[in-house]
Structure 1
Amino acid sequence: MPITSLDYAYDQDVKNKAAIFPATELNKKIAGIRAQKEPALTKRNQVLALLRDALSEGRAEVRKRFDEKASGTMVVRANCFLVDQIVKLVYHFVNEELYPVGVPSKGESLSVAAVGGYGRGELAPQSDVDILFLLPYKKTPRTEQVVEAMLYFLWDLNFKIGHSVRTLKECIRSSQADLTINTSILESRFLCGDLKLFTQLRKTYDRVVRSGRGATFIEEKLAERSERHKKVGGSRYTLEPNIKEGKGGLRDLQTLFWIAKFIYQVDDVSSLVERGVFTRQEVRQFEKAQAFLWSVRCALHYLTNRPEERLSFDVQRELADWMQYTDHAGTKGVERMMKHYFIVAKAVGGLTRIFCAALEAEHNRRSGFRLPLPFLQRKRTVEKFRLEGDRLTFRQEDTLDKDPLEMLRIFHVAQKHDLDIHPAALRKITQNLRLIKHHLRDNEAASRLFLDILASPKDPEKTLRRLNESGVLGRFVPDFGRVEALMQFNMYHHYTVDEHTLFAVGILHQIEKGLLQKEAPIASEVVHKVLSRKVLYVAVFLHDIAKGRSGDHSIEGAKIALRICPRMGLTAEETETVSWLVRYHLTMSETAFSRDIDDPKTIQDFAEIVQSPERLRLLLILTVADIRAVGPNVWNAWKAALLRELYWRTEELLSGGLAAEGQERRVQVAWEKLTAALSHWPAQELALHLERGTVSYWISSDTETQARHAELIRQAEVDKSPFTAEVRVDHYRQVTEVTIYAADHPGLFSRVAGALAVSGASIEGATIHTLRNGMALDSFYIADSHSKTLIEDPDRLHQIETAIEQSLTGELKAAKLLKNLPTRLPSRVLKAMRVKPRVLIDNKASASYTVIEVNGQDRPGLLYHLTQALTKLGLLVHSARIATYGVRAVDVFYVESALGDKISSQQKLNTIQKKLLEILES
């Protein structure tokens, strides 16, 4: 392996090097210091001050060039050049002035080498400087003195030094045993000292470590990469990606370089063109990806003034501003920057696939894929495609030029026969994406193939992901191409729009296969009743197709569906249904999570939108797939229960069942069922209880709940208690239910909300009933405020019950305690993602109540402050729906005046809106 030099890199990437480090001038000054008749320590300190100033000025010059929009590649090369010069000067001063020796013995020789990223010639602003002190044999007193003096010199210059002192034999032995050290020696670069010793190390390394170990090194490096990806998140499309260690980041490019250097003995990626590994276009792609990632990493280091590798929310916006990404056509500048990042990360994945294919071809390394169908192993072709081992490829080099349709057909055939596609074929496809033009998009056979892939019973997500990774999906469906790598700058969506869409298709497939019966039982049941699987799969694929555009993405997406579906071969009726589903794909979740589904008007309004049982089934399944695909821990049993309730009640109304009957009849049925459940009660006592309930109570709760409430009220009457609370775990809904029976007063909801917030519980929903005897029967559905999980610990439940009692008696001062309550999310996230406060008041959503919807930044005690304000405004809360989407809280209250009426005065409505906005903005 040749001795590498970075001179070519300095010349190419770093102009006017003297402005960064005036070497000639500094050498003269150091020579002058050495000529003085001063103690060695005095001379050392003078040289140290001189180098400290030079380092500071050099770094400032590099930063200045970067701020003037020089590339990140320039920064890492310039930093490397700057540190090289200083290390060399330090070595010569220590070696010749502090510990001079006439003619050193062979055992006293020392070689100083750069290793790690520094050895590779890449040094980010806050990166460590990794140095190897190479010895021929064991340490001698003099070499120990030189090494120690150099290290103290560099530490005094505030370098973060990562150093090792090893003999030649130790380097070779450690390289054989440790992959990290192996890679470090592979990247080592001579700086100063004994060149012959360093040359001997490289020759011995080539002969002993590299020779015959290519396949092992590749396996180890790829395994190391996989393990690294697991640690920082398996997807390259995570919200806050690690640009160094993450999938598609700098380390992946470096892994390719390490393998290339080990196998092909190259020092530059462009040399891989001659080896037939990359084309010139792919080398340019590698260099562009690396330059972008280096620019982002250097900007991160400069902005944070630390070795930050994660694109966290609090720096993303600032970084986007620095890189001059502006808002455009409904997409924020920060989202455009992150889209660029994800496109680059995707390109890195493509380069990795190409590189591994070339290695496999050269070293005859087989993939881990195994054929499920043994008879195919005996066949050389499958539906006119050549079979190489267990993977499909094209039969001829010019296949795609003759018929671009084959680009889609190979994915279809692979899906049909459960086969993999050869990386060489994927590379050929990527190189010929230009052939996907309007004539192929309008081709009936192509549309049929795509629809077959999308609605296939054989894992459509896997094949769609292959299509997306290869670039075919975005070219064949250009509207989908617009949402590729599109990030949504919020804490709710965990993935880019295209990733979310592919996950949703995969979840729909799981529902259909019965794999989510426990998590989504109704969707798993009704999915087999829908009249058209095609419609469902196309709707899921298109539901977010208009994200990133100006206007409501649901409305714009419905328009796109009307344009795309006929081209896919859907009938006019199917097209209209898909368009409707895209238009209303958020309606079911918004109704279930933000409206009182116990209110008959809510069900009536939703049923008017849905209109048919078939559309209700389709919308439920789409809603479940959409929510589950948002990210981990977003779907829960509480949301599932709300959706089920909405589905059942709407289905009942649409089919002309009990829900369509009059209130009197429904109350009568409720009484009959409860009478049967409480058959052990005396008739007079039961009749008295039935008179307590209001119409809304009897028609909005099930018999089991009513029976439990009856027993609670009965016990409270016996105990003559002014306050009775029951805390129970509802495993069906996966929430903890707190039921309170107490004398009704306007501030009851607020006091309970404060007590729960102080106890570390968040209210997911609430139902408030004022009975005819003047007592309040309120139910609060709560979860842990930080983890959003079920609260089951008996001690914790007792604490909650005690806090509520103390709040109602005035012992607990919630307002004071809430000031010191920690937030659920890190402050950096809250700072980066500000939610614009909004208060909407609707007098049409309910027949009996005014509906107030509050949108704002989530924070501890927000619900307490909002309900306290409603109380002071003289409003009574009938029911509430509480939802959190990342940092955004959406709280909906069904309220009435003290006289039991809707709020009709415009002046009063304006006052309500003003007061609630003040709370959101405080």
Structure 2
Amino acid sequence: MSEPQIPDRRAIIDRKALASRIEALAGEQGAKARPQVVAALKEALEAGRTEMERRLEARPSAGHAIAGGYSFLVDQLVRIIHEYVTHYVYPAANRSSGERLAVMAVGGYGRAEMAPHSDVDIAFLVGERRNAWCEQVVEAMLYLLWDLGLKVGHSTRTLDEAIRLAKDDLTIRTALLEGRYVWGDRDLYSEGERRFTLEVVKGNERAFLTQKLQERNARHKRMGDSRYVVEPNVKDGKGGLRDLQTLYWIGKFIHRVRSASELVDSGLLTRNEYRTFRRAERFLLAVRCHMHAITGRAEDRLTFDLQRQVSERMNFADRPGKSAVERFMQFYFLQVKHVGSLTGVFLAHIEDDLATRAARSGFFATFRQKPRELKGYRVFGGRIAAPSDDYFRKDPVRLIEVFQLAEAEELEIHPETMRQAARDAKLIDHGVREDKRANALFLDLLSGRNDPETVLRWMNEAGVFGRFVPDFGKVNAQMQFDMYHHYTVDEHTIRAIGLLSQIEKGELKADHPRATRLIHKVASRRVAYVAALLHDIAKGRGGDHSVLGADVARELCPRFGLSESETELVAWLVLHHLLMSHTAQKRDLTDPKTIEDYVGQVQSIERLRHLAILTAVDIRAVGPGTWNSWKGQLLGELYDAASERLRLGHMRHGRKEKVAAKKAQVAEMLGEKDHLVAELGDTFDDSYWIAEPLDIVALNLVHYAAARDLDHALSVHCEFYEARGATLVTVIAADHPGLFYRIAGGIHLAGGNIIDARIHTTRTGWALDNFLVQDPHGAPFHEEGQLERLKTSIADALANRVDLAPKLAQRPLPHSRSKAFDVSPRVLFDNKASNRFTVIEVNARDRPALLNRLARVLFESRLVVHSAHITHYGERAVDTFYVTDLTGGKLVEGERQNTIEARLVEAAGDAMQARLEDA
């Protein structure tokens, strides 16, 4: 865009010296000199690249200088190649007027923004018509560039063709817009530039703007439609380099600017905004250059493993509570946030500008719609605007008010007012933060009835949000370096508030029927919104963010105007915001002790309601696909059991009554087969009847009766279980030690992930095990072929027809990126979580067949597994086992527990995986 400052250019490539060398070779040997010419060019290219790599290492943030340096290197090579071809390969002493050729750089090369492995995009412009000489020269130049190993994108067009195609094709129009003269016939290039402005640009400004914005929106959708995705695309992602380029293209097309700095002269950017533009561009270019250098290819996706390496190369260091990679990514997201803010203001400004031009020249040129007044602001065309440049300076509380009014009245904020808000955000000081009116306005916005999510995002982009709530400012662009969270903390929080608003309006009833009911039953809806705002407010500080966040809540809530009881409730919710999801996903909900312990912490229906709502929005705001019917079912079961216990002061029925009631309900469900309950009811002990849902019991009884009638030694039944968003796999076999880990291995070999397992033994010595299984993407198996593969794989594993360990080790983990993370295995033993069982929780890196490996250790340690609960948090898996020893007792503390812990840690560790893969 702007001419980059490239110091000591001759150290990159000395064109005169290289040209003299090639001239000498060609003069002596003529056409035979080609191999030596290629060798000389290659040598210069490699020397130039080596110099640029040295400069990138020495100045790791100098994006413009490095990208410009690579472009300069290619420029000089193209010029030398052109001279060599036109003088020594296809010399033309008396060229006709048609034998004219100009070489243009287009694309990233045209902008002088080249990373080490960027394509070299060249447009060859020829005179009035195509001719043999031009085609020969172009072909010879291209072959030489290819011989150097460069990836060349090229086109050859006459001037008339180029203009005609530019009118019809947006890509060609954009390429010519940023075309840069490199070498050849300068008059021809200048004529092309003149005709492009007159014939393509003039009168088509609005069409170009519309098409460019459509193109940008489609690209954003493809890339995740948020600038805060945790593995962003530096080039094409939201807030990336392409967005900055779009601003420049639009500015150049509409205002004929030649460099980014001229956007200031045309009034599209302020001097300060231009500095922000250049700073963001410099950083993003530098990051892209490092990515290319590390991977040795044109890589634009900033993956987790690259984030670590780039942060090291750019000299980011660890700080208390924040690793180097998290600090690097926070800085990255701050830059793309600035790009977002610039884009919004810039585009709205352009639209205003075009509208003004149209009004001046149109039929209604003399007609002006009168703006209406709203509390001192001007409202016009669906936008709210500050009436004067010093409006916020006179009363900084208005910086909160303008956003609150925008939400309440469903208005957009005028770009000039957004610009003023961003400029004046620094006026928000302690006095404004403590101002009662300001806090009341903020609370009204936060819990707004229309679209608080969008307006809070605007407020965040203007820098007002972080100034008014400094604790939120600290998590601005704060990345969570894991594969579970898709967004930065601020984006996750704003999305959670938006989801809460949608739930309250009934827009997510299908996915969240319980939360949709509960939000209208809570005593204070403000509590729900403030809790959503503060639940992750203390991330990145070191220490437990829930504990630290509760302290922040106790400080902030009174300031926002919440009562003492509301403040206490918000603080409790922030402190325990993970309690419900952890209990539902990692504990056995049929164990009475689980419900007792959970209710003991929750203690009131109001807390339970709020926690259920917060848990739903928190999980869903993590990213696409993290909420599913299985999680909804688990959370619903926990809510219902806890609600009954809290309302009645006890569980409605004792164990005996529950079993009898369940048998009666199953008999009713079975209809004509209701006799199976009487015949088989006592075959299963009470724990089976309490643990399994009614519909599964009904399926199990039919299946078990058929297996016994046919005298099958092994019976495997698989079916799509819609209620849980999973596949139900039931295995009936003669009980023997090691059955569980072998079944788990068979399921893993068929490509299944076990999300829940219940293990039962009948009084007659048969095992009946129920597994809920999903594919690696969290979807159920339901095609006939998939179900058959599951059955066959389990049968093979139980019959020892496959050697499980090496076969499982060869299965790739669906998230091989998990190797970018340090996840040290951790094992916890808990004898208080259940009255009957020892609960063993294993936290480890997710890997192929982790459950099978852990279950094998438990089997070899002579422990009986009664149920298993499996939870995935991106790269991390948490497997929970309810176990007893062979006598049915709990596992007591001591040497045996220490030995089992050591073996589980080894089984879950990287060393074990490596050994198995080698085997």
Shorter-chain-normalised TM-score: which range?
A: over 0.9
> Corresponding residue for 1:867?
855
Question: Aligned partners of 2:585 and 2:524: how far apart in 1?
Answer: 28
Letter in 2 for 1:537: Y
Question: Aligned partners of 1:510 and 1:497: how far apart in 2?
Answer: 20
What's the CA shift string for 1:531-581, capped at 9, x where partnerless? 111111110111010111100111111111111111101111111110000
Question: Aligned partners of 1:697 and 1:847: how far apart in 2?
Answer: 16
Question: Aligned partners of 2:562 and 2:406: how far apart in 1?
Answer: 24
Question: Aligned partners of 1:816 and 1:804: how far apart in 2?
Answer: 16
SS in 1 for 2:509: coil
Query: Residues 271 and 604 of structure 1: is their aligned pair in 2 closer, same or farther, counting only changes over 3 Å?
Result: same
SS in 2 for 1:867: helix
Structure 1 position 103 matched with structure 2 position 94? yes
Q: Which runs of 4+ in 1 moved over 6 A?
A: 675-683
Letter in 1 for 2:491: E
Match of 2:886 among 898, 901, 904: 898
Structure 1 position 793 matched with structure 2 position 787? no
Match of 2:455 among 444, 447, 463: 463
**How many residues are matched?**
900
What's the CA shift string for 1:474-511, capped at 9, x where partnerless? 11111111111111111111111111111111111222
Letter in 2 for 1:915: R
Structure 1 position 222 matched with structure 2 position 243? no
Question: Aligned partners of 1:132 and 1:704: how far apart in 2?
Answer: 68
Match of 2:512 among 500, 520, 530: 520
> Corresponding residue for 1:814?
804
Question: Aligned partners of 2:268 and 2:425: how far apart in 1?
Answer: 20
Task: State whether residues 23 and 84 of structure 2, in contact with CA within 8 Å, keep that contact through their aligned partners in structure 1.
Answer: no
Following superposition, the deviation at residue 657 of structure 1 comes to 6.1
Task: State whether residues 451 and 498 of structure 2, in contact with CA within 8 Å, keep that contact through their aligned partners in structure 1.
Answer: yes
Q: Which of 351-360 and 655-664 deviates more?
A: 655-664
> Corresponding residue for 2:771?
780
> Corresponding residue for 2:917?
none
Match of 1:652 among 628, 637, 644: 644
Query: Residues 777 and 148 of structure 1: is their aligned pair in 2 closer, same or farther, counting only changes over 3 Å?
Result: closer
Question: Aligned partners of 1:763 and 1:653: how far apart in 2?
Answer: 30
Q: Which of 296-305 and 149-158 deviates more?
A: 149-158
Task: State whether residues 371 and 378 of structure 2, in contact with CA within 8 Å, keep that contact through their aligned partners in structure 1.
Answer: no
The aligned runs of 1:357-756 (5 Å cut-off) are 357-364=348-355, 380-656=372-648, 659=651, 662-670=654-662, 689-756=680-747
5+ long unaligned stretches in structure 2: 359-367, 913-919
Backbone CA RMSD of aligned residues: 2.3
Letter in 2 for 1:878: H
Match of 2:121 among 123, 126, 130: 130
SS in 2 for 1:841: strand
Question: Aligned partners of 1:165 and 1:578: how far apart in 2?
Answer: 66
Letter in 1 for 2:805: A
Following superposition, the deviation at residue 102 of structure 1 comes to 2.6
Question: Aligned partners of 1:731 and 1:579: how far apart in 2?
Answer: 37
> Corresponding residue for 2:106?
115
> Corresponding residue for 1:187?
178
The aligned runs of 1:835-874 (5 Å cut-off) are 835-874=823-862
Structure 1 position 910 matched with structure 2 position 898? yes
Task: State whether residues 753 and 863 of structure 1, in contact with CA within 8 Å, keep that contact through their aligned partners in structure 2.
Answer: yes
Question: Aligned partners of 2:673 and 2:347: how far apart in 1?
Answer: 76
Letter in 1 for 2:199: V
> Corresponding residue for 1:163?
154
Question: Aligned partners of 2:357 and 2:881: how far apart in 1?
Answer: 62
SS in 2 for 1:106: coil
Query: Residues 815 and 206 of structure 1: is their aligned pair in 2 closer, same or farther, counting only changes over 3 Å?
Result: same
Query: Residues 580 and 47 of structure 1: is their aligned pair in 2 closer, same or farther, counting only changes over 3 Å?
Result: same
Task: State whether residues 879 and 893 of structure 1, in contact with CA within 8 Å, keep that contact through their aligned partners in structure 2.
Answer: yes
Q: Which of 571-580 and 388-397 deviates more?
A: 388-397
Question: Aligned partners of 2:466 and 2:614: how far apart in 1?
Answer: 22
Following superposition, the deviation at residue 852 of structure 1 comes to 0.7
SS in 1 for 2:648: coil
Following superposition, the deviation at residue 50 of structure 1 comes to 2.1
What's the CA shift string for 1:163-200, capped at 9, x where partnerless? 22111111111111112222222222222222222222
Q: Which of 618-627 and 510-519 deviates more?
A: 510-519
Q: Which of 184-193 and 709-718 deviates more?
A: 709-718
Question: Aligned partners of 1:129 and 1:708: how far apart in 2?
Answer: 64
> Corresponding residue for 2:3?
9
Letter in 2 for 1:333: A
Question: Aligned partners of 1:680 and 1:62: how far apart in 2?
Answer: 81
Task: State whether residues 388 and 422 of structure 1, in contact with CA within 8 Å, keep that contact through their aligned partners in structure 2.
Answer: no
Structure 1 position 282 matched with structure 2 position 273? yes
Following superposition, the deviation at residue 782 of structure 1 comes to 1.2
> Corresponding residue for 2:139?
148
Question: Aligned partners of 1:905 and 1:545: how far apart in 2?
Answer: 38
The aligned runs of 1:318-337 (5 Å cut-off) are 318-337=309-328
Question: Aligned partners of 1:502 and 1:360: how far apart in 2?
Answer: 28
What's the CA shift string for 1:614-668, capped at 9, x where partnerless? 1111111110111111111111111111111111111111122662654445445
Match of 1:207 among 177, 198, 203: 198
> Corresponding residue for 1:341?
332
Following superposition, the deviation at residue 145 of structure 1 comes to 2.2
Q: Which of 218-227 and 444-453 deviates more?
A: 218-227
> Corresponding residue for 1:802?
792
Question: Aligned partners of 2:100 and 2:396: how far apart in 1?
Answer: 65
Query: Residues 144 and 669 of structure 1: is their aligned pair in 2 closer, same or farther, counting only changes over 3 Å?
Result: closer
SS in 1 for 2:844: strand
Following superposition, the deviation at residue 311 of structure 1 comes to 0.7
Match of 1:264 among 229, 238, 255: 255
Task: State whether residues 134 and 198 of structure 1, in contact with CA within 8 Å, keep that contact through their aligned partners in structure 2.
Answer: yes
Q: Which of 556-565 and 255-264 deviates more?
A: 255-264
Task: State whether residues 377 and 390 of structure 1, in contact with CA within 8 Å, keep that contact through their aligned partners in structure 2.
Answer: no
Q: Which of 232-241 and 530-539 deviates more?
A: 232-241
> Corresponding residue for 1:372?
none
Question: Aligned partners of 1:187 and 1:837: how far apart in 2?
Answer: 53
Q: Percent identity?
A: 45
Letter in 1 for 2:625: N
SS in 2 for 1:396: coil
Match of 1:311 among 282, 302, 324: 302
Letter in 1 for 2:844: G
Match of 1:885 among 868, 873, 896: 873
SS in 2 for 1:104: coil
Task: State whether residues 108 and 142 of structure 1, in contact with CA within 8 Å, keep that contact through their aligned partners in structure 2.
Answer: yes
Task: State whether residues 107 and 178 of structure 2, in contact with CA within 8 Å, keep that contact through their aligned partners in structure 1.
Answer: yes
Following superposition, the deviation at residue 913 of structure 1 comes to 0.6
Letter in 2 for 1:443: D
Question: Aligned partners of 1:90 and 1:671: how far apart in 2?
Answer: 87
SS in 2 for 1:131: strand
Letter in 1 for 2:604: S
> Corresponding residue for 2:282?
291
Structure 1 position 56 matched with structure 2 position 46? yes
Letter in 1 for 2:73: L
Question: Aligned partners of 1:821 and 1:117: how far apart in 2?
Answer: 41
Q: Which of 266-275 and 899-908 deviates more?
A: 266-275
What's the CA shift string for 1:260-290, capped at 9, x where partnerless? 2222222222222222222111111111111
Question: Aligned partners of 1:755 and 1:470: how far apart in 2?
Answer: 54
SS in 2 for 1:810: coil
Letter in 2 for 1:875: L
SS in 2 for 1:740: strand
5+ long unaligned stretches in structure 1: 1-5, 368-375
Question: Aligned partners of 1:110 and 1:379: how far apart in 2?
Answer: 56
Letter in 2 for 1:742: A
